Amino acid sequence: SNKTNRTESWVQKHTSIYKQATRHPFILSIRDGTIDSSSFNKWLGQDYIYVRAFVPFVASLLVKACEESDDSSDMDIILGGMASLNDEIPWFKEEASRWEVSLTTVVPQRANVTYCSLLKRLMSSEIEYTVAITAFWAIETVYQESFAHCLEDGSKIPEELKQTCQRWGNSGFGQYCHSLQNIADRCLEKASIDIIAKAERVFLTVLEHEVEFWNMSKG
């Protein structure tokens, strides 16, 4: 069909904040090779904290899929997401030791604390599956689009940052994000206007938090 899906229409409607989240100066500095190690290390330490808070959120989404979804393949896709998080934790630890970042002493910054409390709120059983899967799609897609951009033609990424970009920028992760988008769109097609409005708000809120998250690397 040539009908524009709900999520795609939101990306178009909110282009400005979407671009701020996926083409942030932090990402552009990785892409052009001008990134300094202090910014990268700040991001690494903060993202480790974030990923640890992200795991229980994804677990709560898996429970919602199990209870509320009419398609059993949703669970398989979300479980795949959990599996890649399982690989990410040791990756962060190795990367941190390589850059001499101490993950046990890193202090979560305010933007991170705020973002993690959003994740916590979204874990509540009061939050509908449609709203939570929309948030999940947005969270994963910002990283996919950002790091994939670092790998596109014309990039000058330093060799030592290639595997970071590949972690989220690889085409398998891109496929996975499309699967999440398809789930979100399928749910949104059946949703009430009230739920659709809630999902659009959570999409915008995620984008705002992602921008603030990248901003932490500067401060």
Q: 210 an active-site residue?
A: yes
Q: Does 92 bind ligand HMH (CB under 6 A)?
A: no
Decide whether 10 or 173 has the Cβ nearer to ligand HMH.
173
What string of H, E and C letters represents the secondary structure of the chain?
Answer: CCCCCHHHHHHHHCHHHHHHHHCCHHHHHHHCCCCCHHHHHHHHHHHHHHHHHHHHHHHHHHHHHHHHCCCCHHHHHHHHHHHHHHHHHHHHHHHHHHCCCCCCCCCCCHHHHHHHHHHHHHCCCCCCHHHHHHHHHHHHHHHHHHHHHHHCCCCCCCHHHHHHHHHHHCHHHHHHHHHHHHHHHHHHHHCCHHHHHHHHHHHHHHHHHHHHHHHCCCC
Q: Does 95 bind ligand HMH (CB under 6 A)?
A: no
Q: Does 127 bind ligand HMH (CB under 6 A)?
A: no
Name the active-site residue from 88, 95, 200, 210.
Answer: 210
Q: Does 47 bind ligand HMH (CB under 6 A)?
A: yes
We find the least distance from the C-beta atom of residue 47 to ligand HMH, in angstroms, to be 5
Decide whether 58 or 131 has the Cβ nearer to ligand HMH.
58
Q: Does 140 bind ligand HMH (CB under 6 A)?
A: yes
Decide whether 18 or 50 has the Cβ nearer to ligand HMH.
50
**Which residues of this chain interact with ligand HMH, rule CB under 6 A?**
47, 50-51, 139-140, 142-143, 210, 213
